[in-house]
Structure 1
């Protein structure tokens, strides 16, 4: 069992509102993220919510995790998310709510890398790390030192390359962020 962790707590300042609530093809990005993780075979799926949490629609197939300290940044949301997972979960696939072009194929690939022994598996696009990122439970305590402010696991990946397996995903979606309304892909 590999959990899915959708980070959707931010205020979306550059976007002008919480990105979790932004719609693409009539569906909020937060719901699309839950569907992505479910389609990628993750269970359970936890969604970390902060800004706009009271406006988020029902999320079938997910557990919502309220994070009142969301303004401390992405790192605190990541730490809150992994802390919310059941004790029998050996790993979590982390995705961001503002990456609607990710593919379930990429999620299945990082999960397969974990099955083959990867402690951390990171999807790469044109040789550059992106999402999804799979973190084994043994790495979660390390996040206290690396997932700080607006930094998620990136510094951990750089500091501990011995733990990282890169998983090419060039043909499996795109990790492009939706930072402004102009970045939202067409349906």
Structure 2
């Protein structure tokens, strides 16, 4: 994306999909799994450091998808929640790129993610230089989100099911947002899968 800025990208795909009862990473949409859709969007942008965090159903997922170009790291503590995957992803990225300036986190169950969503996030982060730039959909703020180096210590302090949205409550945490029109649709239940199938045209 930018020769001046070292940006790593982490795809968080370690969750157990308990509400769905099968790996949502492997739900098919437009001929590909949801995880492959996410990885494809990342591949389009030419990031040097790309991390894929797996946990639950890791063997099945690795049999079904190609992780070429991604460093796969396994989160053995995925049942503890999102924070453990965020920390493992950041730590892996820092090993790959010790001069890391920014880290971009994505999840694997946002089927309507587009390349342009990621370009806008990165552009805003690099030009305005907040501690983070989040996606905004409706009244929600969330992922994909990109964090500057100043936020790394905060990310490493997350616990349990905490996501990085909690930083929004901090007085000195300056952040930006970029609209992600259909970012609010994610796949958690069988009803979501059926709804997605009806959109698969």
TM-score by length of 1: 0.88
Structure 2 contact 7–104 (Cα < 8 Å) conserved:
yes
- The answer (yes or no) to whether the contact 2:53–2:89 under 8 Å persists in 1 is yes
Matches within 5 A, 1:165-180: 165-170=176-181, 173-180=182-189
Unpaired segments ≥5 residues, structure 2: 1-5
Query: When the two structures are aligned, how many residues end up with a matched partner?
Result: 184
RMSD between aligned residues: 1.9
Deviation at 1:41, TM superposition (A): 4.6
Deviations 1:78-100 (A, max 9, x none): 11101100212211111111112
Q: 1:32-69: CA deviations, max 9, x gaps? A: 11112222453322110000111122222322111111
Structure 1 CA distance for aligned equivalents of residues 174 and 89 of structure 2: 21
Aligned partner of 2:120 among 100, 106, 109? 109
Structure 2 CA distance for aligned equivalents of residues 127 and 54 of structure 1: 36
1:131 to 136, 140, 143: 143
- The structure that has the greater radius of gyration is 2
Asked if the contact 1:20/1:97 (under 8 Å) is kept, the reply is yes
Aligned to 1:77: 85
- Give the conservation status (yes or no) of the 8 Å contact 2:135–2:143: yes
1:36 aligned counterpart, secondary structure? helix
Deviation at 1:181, TM superposition (A): 2.5
CA distance in 2, matches of 1:90, 1:14: 36
Q: Matched residue of 2:141: which SS?
A: strand
What is the CA–CA distance in structure 1 between the aligned matches of 2:22 and 2:172, rounded to whole Å? 35
8 A Cα contact 1:103 1:174, kept in partner: no
Report the CA distance shift for 1:127/1:182 in structure 2 as closer, same or farther (over 3 A).
closer
Asked if 1 retains the 8 angstrom alpha-carbon contact of 2:138 and 2:184, the reply is no
Q: Aligned pair 1:3/2:14, yes or no?
A: no
Find out whether 1:64 has 2:69 as its counterpart. Answer: no
Following TM superposition, the consecutive aligned residue runs of length 4 or more in structure 1 with deviations greater than 4 angstroms are: none
Where structure 1 has 5 or more consecutive residues not aligned to the other structure, the ranges are none
Shift of the 52–124 alpha-carbon distance from structure 1 to 2, 3 Å rule, reads same
* Secondary structure class of the residue paired with 1:16: coil
Asked if the contact 2:132–2:176 (Cα under 8 Å) also holds between the matched residues in 1, the reply is yes
